[in-house]
A = this chain, B = another copy of it.
Amino acid sequence: MFLPQKWQYSGFQLTGHPPMTVSETEYLASYNIHDFDIPLTSVDVVIFTLHENKLKALIVKRAEHPFMHHWALPGGFSDLQLDDSIEQTAYRKLFEKTQVSSPYLEQLETVGNNKRDPRGWSTTIVYFALIASDNVTLQSGSGTSDVKWLDIETSWPQLAFDHAELLKNAITRLRNKVEYTNLPLHLLPQSFTLSELQNVFEIVLGRKVDKSAFRRRIREAALLEEIPGKMRLGNNRPAQMYQAKAENYCHYFSRNIIGKTTK
């Protein structure tokens, strides 16, 4: 079961490459990444927003091989000069397309295999972002010829690579997390009413929830603050407007939202 490792190997090194006589400094000086057969690594971003009461994801039309002229998720390679980290790559890609600089951004998954890219072994790190649709200015940017919001409930165009599956996974993750987090807050503009917030939850969940229970849940989590005197006016009773407290980037409820099953 548990071998006594200490005596088995202590005092000598197994053979390895590079040889033991090379110091770490010498090793690093002679190290050349291009000597190794390593996979492509890219970053893709699933950008969600709410537009016309629909949940939408951003897709771009590729202007380059492979999959030229196909729709795809925005993404690309880390620029080792521009980016200090893969998060920065994700933020940069998101900003290039939307001009939004402070989204909710979360790492989703990393997919790497020898099937997904015709160029060979390829790995992509997938992020998902939530942004408010106000103040977004879409830009196709470099490497793409078009950009648009895809209503995730309608039929999708054929997406490049395995991007249809990546998008499906992102939708699943978002739906799951909405059951026990406050993520939909990030799909709304800075100020909003409780009815608007509830509406966002319902759109993402795909079902109605009870108003009274919903408000109690939000109130008791202390996620929001009233904006004194600011009301949403209409042909009915005015609604109090709220904003998210800064500290509530992601709040976890201790129970799932169950809600009504009918839409």
Is the beta-carbon distance between B80 and A39 smaller than 8 angstroms?
Answer: yes
Assuming A38-B38, A114-B80, A125-B112, is B5 touching A119 (CB within 8 A)? no
Among the 9-residue stretches A131-139, A201-209, A210-218, A230-238, the one with 4 or more Cβ atoms under 8 Å from chain B is: A131-139
Chain A interface mostly helix, strand, loop or mixed? loop
Given known contacts A14-B140, A119-B31, is B148 in contact with A5 (CB within 8 Å)?
yes
A55 at the binding interface (Cβ < 8 Å):
no
Residues of A within 8 A of B (CB-CB), count: 75
Which of A15-23, A190-198, A219-227, A241-249 touches B? A15-23
Contact (A63, B119) CB under 8 Å given A38-B40, A38-B41, A255-B256: no
A146 within 8 A of B: yes
List residues of chain A with CB under 8 Å of any chain B CB: 1-3, 5-6, 8-10, 12-14, 16-18, 20, 22, 24, 27-28, 31, 33-34, 36-41, 51, 61, 63-66, 68-69, 77-78, 80, 84-86, 107, 109-115, 118-121, 123, 125, 133-138, 140, 142-149, 254-256, 258
